[in-house]
Every structure is written in C-alpha cells, then in structure tokens.
Amino acid sequence: AQPREQPLLEPVLPAPAEEHNGTDGAKAPKVSCEERNTTGIDRFTLQILNVSQDLMEFLNPNSSDCTLVLFYTPWCRFSASLAPHFNSLPRAFPTLRFLALDASQHSSLSTRFGTVAVPNILLFQGAKPMARFNHTDRTLETLKDFIFNQTGIEAQGDVAVTEADWEGPLPSVLTKGIDWLLLFSVLFLAGFVMYATVRTESIRWLIPGQEHEHQE
C-alpha cells in the first residue's frame, strides 16, 4: 500500500499542478462541477460499491456533476487511516457525490485508471477522471483543500471527523487479507533470484560489462 504510483501509469489523467495548501484558492477552479440539488436529503454519506457493481454505472457521462472516488483495500493500513476522514467528506460537500470501492475486487478499473497503489483518490466529472489526489498527508483538511482548489466549492464550516466516522461506512479497522499485487511481486522476484543463482553463466550477458570481463 504505497502512497504513490509512477506517473507513467496514469495515462488517463492530465497532469494538473498539485496544490500544497489552501493558498491557491484565489485561482480559477480547474473543474466546473454541476452541484446536485440537496433538497430532501437528510443524510449525506458515501456509497461503497460491492463486487458486482460497476463504477461506470454510477457515473453519468452526459452530466457535469462531480464525484470523488476512492480506491482502497480493507487490509491496507493507509486506507484504514484515511477512512474516517473520507467518511466525513460527504457532510463537508453535500452537493458532491462520494464513492469508494475495494480495488482488489475491481482490478479492471484499477488497471484502467492507473490505481496500482492504494489508497488512490480520483475526482471525476461525469465519467471522466479530472484530477488525482497526490498528498501523502490524507486528512479531512487536505482533502477539503484539494476539492476546493479543483472545483472552487467551499466546504461546510462546521464539519469535523466524529466517532461515527471511525465506525463507517468505510472501515477504519484493518481486516486480514492478501495483497495479491505484493505477493506476486515477491514471488516473481524470488523466482528471478533463484533462476539467476542457478543459471549465473547463462545470464551473464544481461549484466553490462560482463562480456568484457575475461578479455585480455
């Protein structure tokens, strides 16, 4: 659960200048979001997609409304520490939508949007990813700054992380699981090392300069 991924793995996104604090608020917003009508909505919370639900069914390509989507895994400690802060965001921005999905259950989406590390947060306008949250400091305040700097929408002033946010809907307690990406990486590395040990002479040509080692 590394906090960063290589930029080359993010072809679907532009490369927006990342904000480091709220002082850039005077700039024009990068994303013009259509804010939803909150009349009649009593409880503002995020929705967690299950394994059978497709993210693209929840994103309307014909609208300009904005959705913040979190890719996480329940056994990643970074995802768990982020959970209560992300749970509080729908109350801070009631006119936006918030979704979360287990990246291990939606591997095709993770590949499509370059989310090879979790937690990963993308801001969508309609069905198009517009910006990626790149801070390693994932708190309610940095998330509010990110949304404001991208959309120009101000957070509700009285929102704070509560005890209820630690309980859900996004889990803040780690569950036992297997990080398959890490497991496959370790197995691949172990296999390569074993191969290199057994076949040292046969792969000597792969090492720069080795072909000249025994020349007079």
The phi and psi torsions of 98 (rounded to 5 degrees) equal: -135, 125
pLDDT category, 31, cuts 50, 70, 90?
A: confident
Q: What does 15-51 look like in DSSP terms, one character per residue?
A: -PPPP-SGGGGGSPPSS-PPPPP-TT------EEE-T
- Residue 140 pLDDT: 93
Give tens-digit pLDDT for 175-199.
765 555 666 667 878 887 887 777 7
- Residue 89 pLDDT: 94
Mean pLDDT of 30-52: 83
- Residue 87 pLDDT: 95
What is the Cα 32 distance to its own chain's centre?
A: 21
Q: How many angstroms separate the Cα of 23 from the Cα of each of 89, 138, 139, 191?
A: 20, 18, 17, 49
CATH class, range 47-167: alpha beta
Domain boundaries, the chain: 47-167
Write down the pTM of the prediction: 0.66
Residue 62 has pLDDT above 90, yes or no: no
The phi and psi torsions of 129 (rounded to 5 degrees) equal: -70, 130
What is the Cα 62 distance to its own chain's centre?
A: 24
Average pLDDT value for the chain = 77
Mean pLDDT of 42-68: 86
Rounded to an integer, what distance in angstroms lies between the CA atom of residue 188 and that of residue 182? Answer: 10
Question: Residues 126, 118: contact at Cβ < 8 Å?
Answer: no
pLDDT category, 82, cuts 50, 70, 90?
A: very high
